[in-house]
Structure 1
Amino acid sequence: MTQHRKRHKNLGLAELVAIALGGMVGGGIFTILGVSVSMIGNLTPVAIIIGGLIASLAAYSYVKLGLYYRDEGATYSFFKRTYPQSHFSASIIGWFIIFGYISTLSLYAYTFSSYAISSTDFANNIWIRKSIAIGVISVFTFINIWSVNGMGKIEDAMVYTKLVLLTIISFALIQHGTTDFKTFMENMAVDIENSSILSILIVSSITFVAYEGFQLVINAVNEMTNPQKNIPRAIYLAISLAVIIYVVISIGALFAIPKNDIIKYKEYALAAGAGEALGTLGTNLVILGAILATSSAISGTVFGSSRQMAVIAKDGYFPNWLSIRKSNIPQNAIIGMAIMSAILILIGGLELILEFGSITFLLVSLLMAIANYKIRDKTESSKALTLLAIIGLGIGGSLILYYELTSKWEQMMAIILLYLVLSLGSWIYAKKNKLKDTDDIK
């Protein structure tokens, strides 16, 4: 095992759960709600629960590999150390996972700005929206550079406040909605007759992006107390809480908001529904909840992914300056993440980037399950559970690709092009590393 330098252990279970939930309960639930309702209606809560089970299967291998390797490089390091002879596989995993995080970071910031100015005269001004998005990334870049402990406490406050707010809003919508429980169940019965198992599973696979973020816990392995207990506790607890909050939000929306409005307004549907049921106060609470949700997602993603980027850069698969740390904080990687996210925001096309992120994280989770199966004796993993994870994630990945090809084939072609560009960059750095190793041997 690699020996790490002694570092301050500032993050306990509460902070780790907050980091994971911060990465999960961001823009994802607001985005997937409209897609899910348009495809399977009142069966949306069922698909969300199945999506949580898929996420739990993915988490199993992450937990086992995280406890075995104890490496803040997480996804990248697990694959590199399981397959140490392949420079290209290590490099391409690193590039894919980091740009997946950059895409979600951009989306969270853009969603933040959309809600922040949604009730002002500037709501439709695209450049003000982009400026605010870049500004909020800058704020959390500073916070993450300033203090690990400070970031943890701020993350605690934002995450747990947003969970309380979203829960209150959801129950208020259920209470004041025009649909009662009997009607809801009758509508669900109709949706069961009209929906296929395939469509439910496709939606479950799409919802996987709303659970992306639990991996960020492992990136904090060098700043956490008692990793042996806190890694599995934090990850499984965070996924369970995310499932509960997503189900409550979806039921609240379906009780209070007409399906056509959910489909039409998508991420703004919850705010519109709260306005109808609870008035201006309800709308303002939803906006506040969305701002807190996206803020904590930005903070948690910057924290975890920057540490992974620094590890990859130190190994030579990104520019070396990204590996430099000050007081154990990877400040250059944090700044690098912020700059690249800002560029994506300026370029636009965030829906395309989001789809790239969802496919990437599902694919990478499958590769983690395969890596865990290879060394299952060392990680003390169940063969049956690991195989189940591989099968489940493989089916999920196939279903989301099928959905993309049949409904958004132009977007799928653009995603393939993006993969080719990233593959080229990773190949160049893998070749440099291979040549360097050859020179060292000589």
Structure 2
Amino acid sequence: MSEKINLREAMSIGIGGMVGGGIFAVLGLAVSLAQGGTPVAFLFAGLLALITSYSYVKLSLAYPDRGGTVKFINQGFGKTVFSGGLNNVLWVSYIIMLGLYASAFGSYAPNLFELTADKTLDSHLYSSAIIVLATAINYYSIKVVGEIESYAVIIKLIILLSFVLVGIYGLTDNPNLAQLSFENWESPINLLTGGMVIFVAYEGFELIANSAPDIEDPKKNIPRAYYYSVIFVIFLYIIIAVVTVGSLPFKEIATAEDYVLAEAAKPMLGQIGFSIITVAALISTFSAINASLYGGSRVSYEIAEDDELPHELTNMLWNQPIGLFITAVLTILLVNTLHLESISTAGSIGFLLIFAMVNYSGFKLSNKINANKTIPLAGFTLCLLATIILIIQQYSDNKIGVIVAISIILICFLIELIYKKMESHKLGA
């Protein structure tokens, strides 16, 4: 029998999933979109994650399963072309998140050690190399993946909390603090759009669902694990956004958009602070890549086991699910073809759609899971509305990201439709 997970460990899974590479990857992007209203943009995204966590709590209690989100979607919609398409979108969204984390790693790493005279080339080399390294670690030892994540959670939280404490102290006489004033906020619709583009920074709390069968005293600890971890991360992100916007002028933030958190440490701690935050970013993104590679390969395995993708994906290649290697190859392709903003937009659209459908499952199954219908319905409506607003607003500024996201979603459903028809034809033959 597996050892039970206590509340602290369950919270670590949620916090570690959220405070992975997301905040390092999208903070600069958030400021470019929301300006002085960046803390509000993070609040918008966090509140949506908090509402969605209610559905996850109720579904995790009713259907504790290591399949997590895959299980919830199948419970809500049955094993249909629609649910299969959604689960395919979930797998691809993991790949997009891996691309985001690898892209962030590639943006920070050249600041410590340049490989060539071309920083863009260095970024691609580092991004690709870290995926290869993480794949090798996942192949050789899943236990090592868990150990890396457990240590990384502690290290990155210590460094980020230290950054916050020192940063708040340093804001007292910083003239850039005026940038947070209401006159520097973007319009409410732009703040909401900014929040939705960076929604990927909150992706990760749903990993608690995969551990639900192993959490001790689940009726008490599953709700606490979700709510405490999401609320903690909301406050952490808002304070980080305040410190960043209050420490650097917008022009400098724009210049260092891909590694802005390290740049924000400079006014307080100089080059040492820059280097410390860069190391924290590398540790965080590396651990997030490790965990997401494992999660992505498990999702593909679960989908294939549920007859929503070919059973060949349950096959082992060198003692690991073949989905691990497919996930790694697709991530390398993604990170070398798309810009950070396009990756972030595609990831946010994917997860907003998935969370909308999980909320709908919570609403549809409310009587069975003992849930208040209003909250899942609100979560479904808000996630769907946020997805539509994000697509419309980003289409003018980031057309490629929107086209990629919509194309991926359509392809995921098309693949599922073709697979179901082929399977039906085999059975009828």
The structure-2 alpha-carbon separation of the partners of 1:295 and 1:350, relative to structure 1 and needing over 3 Å to count, comes to same
Q: Does 1:184 align with 2:181?
A: no
More deviation, 263-272/411-420: 411-420
Q: Does 1:70 align with 2:60?
A: no
> 2:337 and 2:179 mapped to 1: Cα distance?
45
Aligned counterpart, 1:117: 110
Question: CA shift at 1:349, angstroms?
Answer: 4.5
Unaligned runs of 5+ in 1: 1-6
Question: CA shift at 1:428, angstroms?
Answer: 1.6
CA contact (8 A) 1:356 1:415 kept: yes
The structure-2 alpha-carbon separation of the partners of 1:36 and 1:136, relative to structure 1 and needing over 3 Å to count, comes to closer
> 1:353 and 1:257 mapped to 2: Cα distance?
25
The equivalent position to 1:49 in structure 2, one of 8, 22, 43, is 43
Counterpart AA for 1:395: L
The count of residues paired between Structure 1 and Structure 2 equals 427
SS in 1 for 2:265: helix
Unaligned runs of 5+ in 2: none
Q: Does 1:30 align with 2:21?
A: no
SS in 2 for 1:279: helix
Question: CA shift at 1:346, angstroms?
Answer: 4.2
The equivalent position to 1:60 in structure 2, one of 35, 44, 54, is 54
What's the CA shift string for 1:228-264, capped at 9, x where partnerless? 4443332222212221221221111122111221123
Counterpart AA for 1:65: L
TM-score (ref. length: structure 2):
0.89
Question: CA shift at 1:362, angstroms?
Answer: 0.3
> 1:93 and 1:394 mapped to 2: Cα distance?
14
The equivalent position to 1:432 in structure 2, one of 400, 422, 429, is 422
Percent identity over the alignment is 29
> 2:326 and 2:3 mapped to 1: Cα distance?
25
CA contact (8 A) 2:14 2:229 kept: yes
TM-score (ref. length: structure 1):
0.86
> 2:404 and 2:266 mapped to 1: Cα distance?
37
The structure-2 alpha-carbon separation of the partners of 1:362 and 1:260, relative to structure 1 and needing over 3 Å to count, comes to same
Aligned counterpart, 1:159: 153
SS in 1 for 2:253: helix
CA contact (8 A) 1:15 1:156 kept: no
The structure-2 alpha-carbon separation of the partners of 1:279 and 1:248, relative to structure 1 and needing over 3 Å to count, comes to same
> 1:302 and 1:18 mapped to 2: Cα distance?
18
Counterpart AA for 1:344: L
Q: Does 1:318 align with 2:309?
A: yes
CA contact (8 A) 1:72 1:308 kept: no
Question: CA shift at 1:429, angstroms?
Answer: 1.7
Counterpart AA for 2:34: I
SS in 1 for 2:308: coil
Aligned-residue Cα RMSD (Å) equals 2.8
Aligned counterpart, 2:272: 281
CA contact (8 A) 2:17 2:204 kept: yes
The equivalent position to 1:304 in structure 2, one of 287, 290, 295, is 295
Q: Does 1:100 align with 2:90?
A: no
The structure-2 alpha-carbon separation of the partners of 1:307 and 1:414, relative to structure 1 and needing over 3 Å to count, comes to closer
Question: CA shift at 1:92, angstroms?
Answer: 0.4
> 1:38 and 1:351 mapped to 2: Cα distance?
11
The structure-2 alpha-carbon separation of the partners of 1:73 and 1:35, relative to structure 1 and needing over 3 Å to count, comes to same
The equivalent position to 1:202 in structure 2, one of 169, 193, 196, is 193
Question: CA shift at 1:165, angstroms?
Answer: 0.3
Counterpart AA for 1:353: I
Q: Does 1:173 align with 2:167?
A: yes
Question: CA shift at 1:377, angstroms?
Answer: 0.5
More deviation, 352-361/144-153: 144-153
What's the CA shift string for 1:137-156, capped at 9, x where partnerless? 34433444555554333212
CA contact (8 A) 2:26 2:344 kept: no
> 1:96 and 1:435 mapped to 2: Cα distance?
24
> 2:148 and 2:252 mapped to 1: Cα distance?
35
